[in-house]
Amino acid sequence: MAHCLVPTAEEILDRVFPVLDKGFVRLVDYLGGDARIVQAARVSYGEGTKSYREDAALIDYLLRNEHTSPFEQVVLTFHIKLPIFVARQWIRHRTARVNEISGRYSILKDEFYLPAPEDVALQSRDNKQGRAEPLPADEAAAVIARLEAGQKAAYAEYTALVDMGLARELARIDLPLSLYTEWYWQIDLHNLFRFLALRLDAHAQKEIRAYAAVLLEIARRVAPAATASFERHTLEGLRFSGPEVAEIRRRLARTSGAADASSEEVPLLEGKELERFEAKLASGRQL
């Protein structure tokens, strides 16, 4: 198959998709789309040998049964501007190729992330890595003002150190995590879906979820059938452990009247495990 052009992807090449207050995502290049996945799966010598419906069904089968290698044939390259604290979470996904702006060579821009008032919240009491309820508007405004003052002071010191001739690699070290950075990020579709499954989850930090939502929209433009299958089977699906499956069977048997009376009310899960299971069922009912 020759170079695969996807009209919906061509329409958005180099388009800036704003994220957060100063960030963005741009699709700068792509290799392949749904047709490439189908070709890789069939190892065929041509195009159009099957109908779109049959191709979509094949893609759905591949994703549902976790035949991942055909999805690796599709590659997307992004230009992304993001706060450093988001980048540090992002870089944990070690399945992409990254080239980031260097503060050793470049003068870093005076651009910092400030959360919206509705995103300024207290620390969650039961989730060590999450937020609780937002602060009242006046308190949120005060927090944002303190963050902004700290950012301005840090950048003023950075500028002063650069102006006195200090090495840029040293001058940068006191800049805060809210500073924006930029990178080119290239990843295949299989690993992009893995990234999205984790970073679109409600437990992920809100700021990185905002980027993941934009990446999902771009993936729809590049490989619509594959992304639809990913949304159906992964984003909208649920996975259960062995004990959770046993608990589901116990409840179904109790509902149908086929359960042993002695085991009807004996839960197979307890404590945090039971709480997580109930939360999972509740999230599934909301889909």
Q: What is the pLDDT of residues 249-261, one digit of tens each?
A: 888 888 777 666 5
Regarding whether 227 and 169 lie in a shared domain, the answer is no
Per-residue pLDDT of 102-138, as tens digits, reads: 999 999 999 999 999 999 999 988 777 788 899 999 9
Which residue type, as a one-letter code, is found at position 278?
A: E
Q: Which of 199, 232, 249, 276 is catalytic?
A: 199
Determine, yes or no, domain membership for 195.
yes
pLDDT at 199 over 60: yes
Other CB atoms closer than 10 Å to residue 59's CB: what's the count?
25
**For the chain, what is the mean pLDDT?**
90
The predicted model gives 32-41 an average pLDDT of: 93
Residues 133 and 257 in one domain: no
Total of domains in the chain? 3
Q: Are residues 20 and 148 in the same domain?
A: no
Instruction: Read off the pLDDT of each residue in 236-265 and give the average, rounded to a whole number.
Output: 76
Q: Kindly state whether residues 34 and 151 are assigned to the same domain.
A: no
CA dist list (Å): 131 to 118, 126, 280: 12, 9, 20
| 89 has pLDDT over 50 | yes
pLDDT in the model for residue 45:
42
Q: 115 exposed, middle or buried (CB, 10 Å; 0-12, 13-18, 19+)? A: middle
Residues 76 and 144 in one domain: no
pLDDT band with cut points at 50, 70 and 90 for residue 50? low
Q: What is the pLDDT of residue 2?
A: 63
- 97 and 67 in a common domain: yes
Residues 68-90, mean pLDDT to the nearest whole number = 97
Could you give the percent of the chain with pLDDT greater than 90? 71
146 domain-assigned: yes
So what's the pLDDT on residue 287?
39
Q: Which residues contact 284 (CB under 8 A, 6 or more apart)?
A: 238
The more confidently predicted of residues 253 and 95 is 95
Whether residue 147 contacts residue 178, with contact meaning beta carbons closer than 8 Å, is answered with: yes
Q: Is residue 1 part of a domain?
A: no
The Cα 195–Cα 36 span in angstroms is 21
Are the CB atoms for 184 and 207 separated by under 8 Å?
Answer: no
Q: Could you tell me the pLDDT band of residue 52, with boundaries at 50, 70 and 90?
A: confident
Instruction: Read off the pLDDT band of 278 (50, 70, 90).
Output: confident
| Pairwise CA distance, residues 259 & 274, whole Å | 20
Q: Can you give the pLDDT at residue 35? A: 93
Is residue 273 situated within a structural domain? yes
pLDDT exceeds cutoff 50 at 285: no
Asked whether residue 4 carries a pLDDT value surpassing 90, the answer given is: no
Question: Higher-confidence residue: 266 or 160?
Answer: 160
On whether both 126 and 265 belong to a single domain, the answer is no
**Are both 156 and 18 inside the same structural domain?**
no
Domain containing 271: what range? 242-286
For the residues 62-69, what does the mean pLDDT come to? 94
Same domain assignment for residues 37 and 124:
no
| Residue 262 pLDDT > 70 | no
Is the entire prediction scored with pTM above 0.85?
yes
Residues 158, 209, single domain; the answer is no
How high is the pLDDT of residue 286? Answer: 43
Q: Is 199 a catalytic residue?
A: yes
- Judgement on whether residues 165 and 146 belong to the same structural domain of the protein: yes
Of the candidate ranges 49-58, 202-211, 255-264, 268-277, the one whose mean pLDDT is the lowest: 255-264
pLDDT in tens, 207-218: 999 999 999 999
- The reported pLDDT for the residue numbered 253 is 83
State mean pLDDT over 178-206.
Answer: 96
Token reading at 191: 């690993």
Residue 66 and residue 101 in one domain: yes
